[in-house]
Structure 1
Amino acid sequence: MAAAVNFPCRIPRQAISLKGVAGLTFGSTPSKGSCQLMQSNVKMEREAACLRKQVNNKSLNKRWVSMVVSAAGDFDFKLGSSPSNMIKQFYACINDKKLKELDGYVSEDCHFEDCSFLQPMQGKKEVMHFFRQLTAGMGQNVKFVIEHVCEDDEMTAGVNWHLEWKTIQIPFTRGCSFYECSHKDDRLIIKKALVVIESPIKPGGIVLTLLKNVTAIFDDFPKAAEWLLKSPHVIMQFCSKIYSRLLAPFVNPLLAGYIRAWNLAARLFAFALNIVLHFLTKYFG
């Protein structure tokens, strides 16, 4: 009687069944090879589970890192980020002619010095008037292309650029700009700017010869040199008076005639070009 009793916690040896293992039938006793196969399958399942866990952890970590980076990028953009990013956004507004957004990048007391002009522009009103003229003169196809942007600290940045017309670089339009920024609310704005543009005149070695002669004169007459260097506006006024009294009566008519001649030539060229285009569109369009 006692031998026929089976406790629930004990399973008869002949009742073990392995599904999916070739060569074993229900109720048969597993051999040594089948036990090794079962152990290898269990091991493979454990390794696969560990691998899936690692992959899930990596994907979770990647998602977490991407979320942190995107949040930091949004926060950085709201704060005006760095001067380099602010300058890139500034030139993007110029290219897109977004004058209202461009106005937000200029401080009220902005000092904007362009070496192509005799006098720097002072204040937002003068600076924005300059940018309105600039964007109007650029037309629809001329764009600023930034080549490099560098930062000195949290408030200064330098950029070199050139102009392109339909992705074609325009000659003699390379330039460098240096910006000093300040904080306004939660963003960076331009407080001071210096713009240096490539000169279309390439004197070459003449500049070195002229520099040598001028420095020699400065060394021979140091007091006069100090006075001239400390008062450059006096030289400009003196040269302007000489020009207006001696040269203007002769030079101005020549310049006016020269300008009129070039205007006439430009109109004739445009007229001829329109005729050619009309002919091509009529017979080959």
Structure 2
Amino acid sequence: MAATVNFYGQPPQQAICPKGVAGLTFGFSPFKGSSQSMQNKMKMICLRKPASNKSFSKRWVNLVVSAADDFDLKLGPSPSNMIKKFYTCINEKNLKELDGYISDDCIFEDCSFLQPMQGKKEVMHFFEQLTAGMGQNVKIILEHVCDDDGFTVGVNWHLEWKTIQIPFTKGSSFYECSQKEDRLVIKKALVVTESPIKPGGIVLTLLRNVTAIFDDFPQAAEWLLKSPHVITRFCLKIYIRLLAPFVNPLLAGYIRAWNLIARLFALALNTVLHFLKKNFG
């Protein structure tokens, strides 16, 4: 509404009341020589709160969200968002879409394996085995996802079975991404998984003894650190020729025993969950 005020000797004038961002509208008298009290009255007349303030604010929110979406579309997906979609594909076992996030020359290094996987074919074979081993109820749950405003992303995660965290399944992954046409792909990955063996202070003692040997024999230490695969092959040959005939049967029995224990534990857990669901669910 516009307020009209007549002064003697002057034609009628109209005060314009523009809408304020905060939901209030103000009108100011443009006349010269008007008293301060008359200006205050003018402000009181024009001061009003729009009836549709809630809908007005809602329209502003929708406008800002729409502008933010357009801005994201122009910039393209961020590395952190891409990694989240990557893990979603793993949980949903969508290997076809997962293939699009792996570069042709990808190097995937998992510390649980002796050698890194190189190339899309080896990496996808790993994820085929991983998704098959996860079954229908195991999911990878992301705890923290952070990037460096560039192409490197760090992730902390753990495994859950039907929303129940599985012990000793925490891990951290680091991804180096690259731009391929209109999308981001994983160029290099490093995965570190929690060890079920907790040696504690033994690791510190072992580290102190190993570093003492390195300091006493620096040349041998330098050769060992530069050629670890030679020592690995040498130890494997000794194991195959001397220890394998005795250790392998024991190891196979140990694995069968743990498989039996795991099945019994799963059966007991399912029984307890079924009982709780039936009586308290």
Match for 1:232 among 216, 228, 235?
A: 228
Partner of 2:163: 167
Partner of 2:63: 64
Match for 2:102 among 79, 98, 106?
A: 106
Partner of 1:193: 189
Match for 2:50 among 42, 46, 52?
A: 52
Partner of 1:223: 219
Separation in 2, partners of 1:272, 1:66:
49
Q: How far is the alpha carbon of 1:251 from its aligned partner?
A: 1.2
Tell whether 2:126 aligns with 1:130.
Answer: yes
Q: Deviations over 1:184-238 (max 9, x none)?
A: 1111100000000000000000000000000000000000000000000011011
One-letter code of the match for 2:66?
M
Partner of 2:244: 248
Q: Report SS of the residue matched to 2:67.
A: helix
Separation in 2, partners of 1:264, 1:149:
36
Percent identity for Structure 1 against Structure 2: 70
TM-score (norm 2): 0.74
Q: How far is the alpha carbon of 1:74 from its aligned partner?
A: 3.6
Gaps of 5+ in 2: 1-39
Match for 1:213 among 196, 206, 209?
A: 209
Q: Deviations over 1:157-204 (max 9, x none)?
A: 111110111111110000000000000111110000000000000000
C-alpha spacing 1:263/1:113, structure 2 compared with 1 (3 Å): closer
Separation in 2, partners of 1:272, 1:186:
48
Q: How far is the alpha carbon of 1:106 from its aligned partner?
A: 0.2
Tell whether 2:119 aligns with 1:120.
Answer: no
When the two chains are superposed, the root-mean-square deviation of aligned CA atoms in Å is 3.2
C-alpha spacing 1:207/1:46, structure 2 compared with 1 (3 Å): same
Separation in 2, partners of 1:134, 1:114:
12
Separation in 1, partners of 2:80, 2:262:
41
C-alpha spacing 1:214/1:141, structure 2 compared with 1 (3 Å): same
Q: Deviations over 1:128-177 (max 9, x none)?
A: 11111111111111111111112124111111110111111110000000
Name the larger-Rg structure: 1
Tell whether 2:157 aligns with 1:157.
Answer: no
One-letter code of the match for 2:113?
F
Q: Report SS of the residue matched to 1:52.
A: coil
More helix by share: 1
Q: Report SS of the residue matched to 1:150.
A: strand
TM-score (norm 1): 0.73
C-alpha spacing 1:115/1:271, structure 2 compared with 1 (3 Å): closer
One-letter code of the match for 1:193?
A
One-letter code of the match for 2:72?
G
Q: Deviations over 1:11-62 (max 9, x none)?
A: xxxxxxxxxxxxxxxxxxxxxxxxxxxxx998755222xx339958766544
Q: Report SS of the residue matched to 1:256.
A: helix
One-letter code of the match for 1:195?
V
Separation in 2, partners of 1:160, 1:262:
28
